[in-house]
Amino acid sequence: MTDLQSQDFIRISASTTTPPAARNHEVEVAKLIDVSRCIGCKACQAACMEWNNLRGDVGTFQGSYTNPADLGPHTWTLMRFTEHENATGDLEWLIRKDGCMHCADPGCLEACPAPGAIVQYANGIVDFVSQNCIGCGYCVKGCPFNIPRISAADSKSYKCTLCSDRVSVGMEPACVKACPTGAILFGSKTDMRSWAGERVEDLKGRGFEKAGLYDPPGVGGTHVMYVLPHADTPSIYAGLPGNPAISVFVDVWKGVLKPLALAGLAVTAVAGFLHWVITGTNEVEENDDRSAADFIKNHEGVAK
Amino acid sequence: MKYPEGTLVRNTRAARVNHWITATCFVLLMVSGLSMFHPMLFWLSGLFGGGQWTRTIHPWIGIVLALSYAGLIVQFWRDNFWNRDDIRWLRSIVEVVVNDEAKVPEVGRFNAGQKFVFWTMALLVPALLATGLVIWQSYFGEATTIETQRAAELVHSWAAATAIMIWIIHVYAAIWVRGSVRAMTRGYVTPGWAWRHHRKWFRDLVTTGSTGPRPRG
Ligand code: HEM
Ligand code: SF4
């Protein structure tokens, strides 16, 4: 989903020129997911399906409230349920709304080889533009959060758009609108950070000493943030990475090898051409023919 | 087809067909791969009918290349064994490069440069196949961990860039040393060519009464 008339790009995938950005006087937005206020009703998950016209195939029960079992081309947000036994032996039912984090430094966009298949707007939203997507799955390798999913039916990559269509006309994302407890909030990133600060204070006052805001600096911060009661161990929330960053393999591949290899190929080709210009071709000379003929004559009938 | 009177067979019919299947696959893989490697080369994907088609077809051509190169290994490995001549030849690499071939020691059917191309490709093609399968999203996207795929992606593009550089050298050498291209298109070389570039091979053929590509007995 995207508006191709946008002139507010921060980045465009596989592009070596400056993207159009004159109309970039925009507020940086963020979605704040307060895990401590979520009751796991999945209204957000349903609202996402409804607004985006997504209906996945009906699956089978996997022994968990997490349903379907994973994100998919038709599941852009998924409530993940974890039964966690804490240090005092009590059971905690942890519920995390999973989906694209809209990183400030998006690994998917860095990895994508197709010009314009992934874009980042001035408001921070990272969006997939399906008509440019070639279905290679590089975004899957680039993402530190394991979010994009390639459709087997149409070989296009899909993920949460942060309702870029709604946000561009001044509405909040569908999941935010649907949440009955106010666990999902949407606004400027500054406002969301300061509200999160209040929530964290409140949680600390109620005994969650390790409460905190999840806005990981390894990816430049995200435009989807969590308030976590146990911010010291994000991984207990269905594997939320503690210190996410773009993999070093991806960085070397795209940051070092890509420019170096292209230069190397050009240099090799030019060196070949110059060699030809300088030394000329290597031709068989008359005395080669003569020596060969003599040799053949001297050995006539030897082994035949 | 008959070879012209008095010439030596450098490459058999089977070897030539096998070589050109490999070469076609390699060029198609190089062009399609490079279009996905660097944004400035993405336009090359137009040659395959767009990005989706390029992405789809590349791995299949890769499978054909791997099979075809296996055929080349079977046909050529014996003449690519490393020996003392190769070290001598490498010592006079400067004479080779400046076209002073009279000063270059005699070699057999292949010189050290050709053997280098043969063996590096014999390593790089299987590496490209293995890593290519790992990053083949539509069939093997779930087969390995994403971290493995990231490493494979890096190795694949590194191996591809290395292979392409070696390929440039290989193609250039074939054009530079006149008479070599015909050895792979029509299959034969003149005795003078063999004398100049592969004198030991030439002697082995003549003294055993063979017209090539391998000595008798
Ligand atoms: C031998 C079997 C091969 C297989 C199975 C294979 C498979 C793949 C796959 C699956 C991709 C990801 C894009 C896609 O899905 O099409 C890819 C990318 C690529 N391949 Fe291959 N490939 C092979 C051989 C080669 C060869 C011989 C070359 C070079 C001459 C090559 C060069 C590339 C390049 C440059 C890329 C893009 C890498 C990047 O984006 O950084 N491949 N290959
Ligand atoms: S699959 Fe992902 S990385 Fe590949 S073209 Fe589509 S969006 Fe870009």
* Residue-level pLDDT, tens digit, chain A, 304 residues: 445 568 999 999 999 999 999 998 999 999 999 999 999 999 999 999 999 999 999 989 989 999 999 999 999 999 999 999 998 999 999 999 999 999 999 999 999 999 999 999 999 999 999 999 999 999 999 999 999 999 999 999 999 999 999 999 999 999 999 999 999 999 999 999 999 999 999 999 999 999 999 999 999 999 999 999 999 999 999 999 999 999 999 999 999 999 999 999 999 999 999 999 999 999 999 999 999 999 999 998 665 4
A133 lines ligand 2 (CB under 6 A): yes
Residues 6+ apart with CB under 8 A from A246: A105, A107, A110, A142, A144, A219
Q: Provide the angle, in degrees to the nearest 10, between the axes of the packed helices B84-91 and B112-134.
A: 100
Residues 6+ apart with CB under 8 A from A142: A106, A107, A108, A109, A110, A111, A112, A246, A247, A250
Residues 79-108 of B with CB under 8 A from A: 97-99, 101
Full set of structural domains in chain A with CATH: 2-246 (3.30.70.20), 253-298 (no CATH)
What ipTM, to 2 d.p.?
Answer: 0.93
Whether the CA torsion A6, A10, A16, A18 is positive or negative: it is positive
Closest CA to ligand 2's atom 6: A133
Residues 7-36 of A with CB under 8 A from B: 14-16
pLDDT of residue B2: 82
A109 lines ligand 2 (CB under 6 A): no
Q: For B113-153, how does the pLDDT look when each residue is reduced to its tens digit (9 = 90+)?
A: 999 999 999 999 999 999 999 999 999 999 999 999 999 99
Rounded to the nearest angstrom, the distance between the alpha carbon of B33 and the centre of ligand 1 is 5
Phi, psi (deg, nearest 5) at residue A45: -65, -40
Q: What tokens appear for A199 in the block?
A: 């929530």
Q: For B29-56, how does the pLDDT look when each residue is reduced to its tens digit (9 = 90+)?
A: 999 999 999 999 999 999 999 999 999 9
Distances from the Cα of A270 to the Cαs of A274, B42, B172, in angstroms?
6, 21, 11
Q: Provide the annotated active-site residues of B.
A: 170
- The fraction of chain B above a pLDDT of 70, given in percent, is 100
Residues of chain A found within 8 Å of residue B192, distances taken between Cβ atoms: 284-285, 288-293
Chain-wide mean pLDDT for chain B?
Answer: 96
pLDDT of residue B217: 78
Q: How far is B7 from chain A (nearest CA, A)?
A: 11
Mutation target to probe the B interface, by most B beta carbons within 10 A, among A288, A291, A294 is: A288
pLDDT of residue A1: 44
Nearest chain A residue (CA) to B215: A303
Residues B164-177 have a mean pLDDT of: 97
Specify whether the CB–CB gap between A257 and B157 falls below 8 A.
Answer: yes
Specify whether the CB–CB gap between A98 and A184 falls below 8 A.
Answer: no
Q: How confident is the model at residue B70 (pLDDT cuts 50, 70, 90)?
A: very high
Q: How confident is the model at residue B1 (pLDDT cuts 50, 70, 90)?
A: low
Distances from the Cα of A61 to the Cαs of A57, A69, A79, in angstroms?
13, 8, 15
pLDDT of residue A304: 46
Q: Do B52 and A272 touch (CB under 8 A)?
A: no
User: SS3 of B15, please?
Assistant: helix
- Res. B87: pLDDT tops 70: yes
β A224-228/A212-214 pair status: antiparallel
pLDDT of residue B212: 87
Using a CB–CB cutoff of 8 Å, tell me whether B191 touches chain A. yes
Specify whether the CB–CB gap between B30 and B171 falls below 8 A.
Answer: no
Pocket perturbation via mutation, ligand 1, pick of B40, B58, B134 by most ligand atoms within 8 A of CB: B58
- Res. B190: pLDDT tops 70: yes
pLDDT of residue A300: 81
| Interatomic CA distance for residues A178 and A189, integer angstroms | 20
Model-wide pTM > 0.90: yes
| Interatomic CA distance for residues A282 and B178, integer angstroms | 6
Using a CB–CB cutoff of 8 Å, tell me whether A276 touches chain B. yes
Q: For B127-138, how does the pLDDT look when each residue is reduced to its tens digit (9 = 90+)?
A: 999 999 999 999
